[in-house]
Structure 1
Amino acid sequence: MSDVTAVAEIIFGVIQQQRALHADRPVLIGVAGAQGSGKTTACQLLEMSNRPRFAHFSLDDVYWSKEERADLARLIHPLFVTRGPPGTHDLDLANATIAALMRASAKSETRLPRFDKARDEPEPKSDWPVYRGRPEAILFDGWCLGATAPEDGRPLNPVESIDSDGRWRNAQRVFLQDDYAPLFARFDAIVYLKPSSWDVVRRWRGEQEAQLLGRALSAEESAKLDRFVMHYERITRSMMAGGHVADVVVELDEERRVLGVAK
């Protein structure tokens, strides 16, 4: 059994447990994990298996547009121009999509949002895939899904050093507490894929980029990636230390192999 298949089977077990408890409606299952942990791939594997019928979309699919993030950057802090941290997602869209899937009938057609990372813009709604019918389970994955507000402290990296007065970090904590926590509370269960260290997260993200490009990263691309992942470091480290509300924690080694499962 491959590593991603092992993770998918663990998630499937959680889904089946929740379906037994909520047989009258679709179950809502979250899959959290650091960048490159394999969460989206595991969800896609389950979606293709069609056992039961899954609808799947991601926190990455509901990013605000560049213009909307620029407005956030002007209002709060320039670092919000970069997508990823809490505050850069359209949670109304996420909630509305979940609600539509929950009330779907056998004849329903529900558009699932998509974001074009190459353009750094949401895809036109006319291009969103259509989910037909009523799902038995809704899978939603995201890097900070289930995260609780991290403690503040001295800057962890050069990106955080730009946030000299802590406005960016504090705003993320407020967003997590006021906007993201109510979304997380809707889930029947959240599965967290826990990395073995922060350093491996950067390696995984680099491998992910190289795979998308079909080649090794250049020195310039690698430097840009180093800076990009710094936006995620504080919350990722906090989640690794227990700062989350996940129901199931799947511990992964550096090669994404399952080391253990805790509930």
Structure 2
Amino acid sequence: MSAPLHPAPPAGFAPAFVASVLDDALAHGSRVYGIGGLQGSGKSTLAAQVAALAGSRGRRVAVVSIDDFYLTRAQRLQLAHGTHPLLATRGPPGTHDLALAGETLHALSGGAPCALPAFDKIADDRRPASGWTRAQDYDFAILDGWFLKTPPQTETELREPVNALELAEDADGVWRRYCNDALGRDYPAIWARIDRLLWLHGPGFDIVPQWRWQQELALQASDPARTAMSRAQLERFVQHFERVGRQAWRTLPGIADWTVQLDDRRRPAVPPPLKKGD
């Protein structure tokens, strides 16, 4: 018999699925529970729902995203000036403040009180530290991210551009090699803090522009006085994520501890969680 389908974002995931994720985190004693999935797949929505359900059960969950650890706009502009212009755009490996991420996840993995950084995506900059949430007296933490535990590509895989952006603006491969080197060298120490990883496996990268546009519209609706990206800007933006996104989609079902298939409406087909290798 096929697994049941559950409603998904923007309305949110069904209570039964949310409960299964919370139960999975608790059953494995996770201090840092990872929720991965390509852009727009519902990671942050699910993390918030799990935290809310945990609260209704008398438990506390700290929630942070890999996106909250982006370098500041000024830092990325400096990196773009010294290394490659495409590094001005947040997102790919190499555009995160890994010292801040490491410090925060070290505290979370030990259950220590800490401030949780926050990034303003409309302003494209980190929020002031005075506005960060402080995590304390929590049972565990959730880290969500689109490329958690993604391995780097080989030199052969890096040779050919994957889209028009790479063809026109990274013909010599300097930017993609920089990102790939960072992914293989600098991020494993961050991934090591994740005790268990759930991967939301959507239909593929081709649906990301549609999902991410829906996310952008919701972001704009939440703050009508500010201007989010246009559709054309977003179509270019997601090309920055395509190479690593496709690598994540190919490899993470074999790396994550629990993989849940999503259809094109983000509805998960949910079998019982299995351990890797079962």
TM-score by length of 2: 0.83
The correspondence for 2:192, drawn from 185, 193, 198, is 185
Q: Which amino acid aligns with 2:164?
A: P
The correspondence for 1:131, drawn from 113, 132, 135, is 135
Q: Report the equivalent of 1:229.
A: 238
Q: Report the equivalent of 1:13.
A: 23
Task: Find the residue that maps to 1:231 and give its secondary structure.
Answer: helix
Task: Find the residue that maps to 2:176 and give its secondary structure.
Answer: helix
Q: Give the whole-Å Cα distance in 2 for the aligned partners of 1:45 and 1:214.
A: 20
Q: Which consecutive residues of structure 2, in runs of 5 or more, have no partner in the other structure?
A: 1-5
Query: Given the alignment of the two structures, is residue 93 of structure 1 paired with residue 100 of structure 2, yes or no?
Result: yes
Contact 2:109 2:193 survives alignment (8 Å)? no
Contact 1:30 1:189 survives alignment (8 Å)? yes
Q: Report the equivalent of 1:153.
A: 159
Q: Report the equivalent of 1:200.
A: 207
Q: Give the whole-Å Cα distance in 2 for the aligned partners of 1:222 and 1:90.
A: 28
Call closer, same or farther: CA 1:200–1:253 in 2, change over 3 Å.
same
Q: Size of the alignment, in residue pairs? A: 250
Contact 1:56 1:138 survives alignment (8 Å)? yes
Q: Give the whole-Å Cα distance in 1 for the aligned partners of 2:180 and 2:18.
A: 31
Q: Which consecutive residues of structure 1, in runs of 5 or more, have no partner in the other structure?
A: 20-25
Q: What displacement does 1:98 show?
A: 1.8
Identity in percent: 36
Contact 2:159 2:173 survives alignment (8 Å)? no
Q: Give the whole-Å Cα distance in 2 for the aligned partners of 1:242 and 1:102.
A: 25
Q: Report the equivalent of 2:146.
A: 143
Q: What displacement does 1:104 show?
A: 4.3
Q: What displacement does 1:83 show?
A: 0.2
Contact 2:84 2:175 survives alignment (8 Å)? yes
Call closer, same or farther: CA 1:163–1:46 in 2, change over 3 Å.
same
Q: Report the equivalent of 1:174.
A: 181
Q: How does 1:43-82 map to 2 (within 5 A)?
A: 43-49=47-53, 50=55, 51=57, 52-82=59-89
Q: Give the whole-Å Cα distance in 1 for the aligned partners of 2:136 and 2:103.
A: 16
Contact 1:195 1:201 survives alignment (8 Å)? no
TM-score by length of 1: 0.88
Q: What displacement does 1:13 show?
A: 3.1
Q: Give the whole-Å Cα distance in 2 for the aligned partners of 1:199 and 1:9.
A: 30
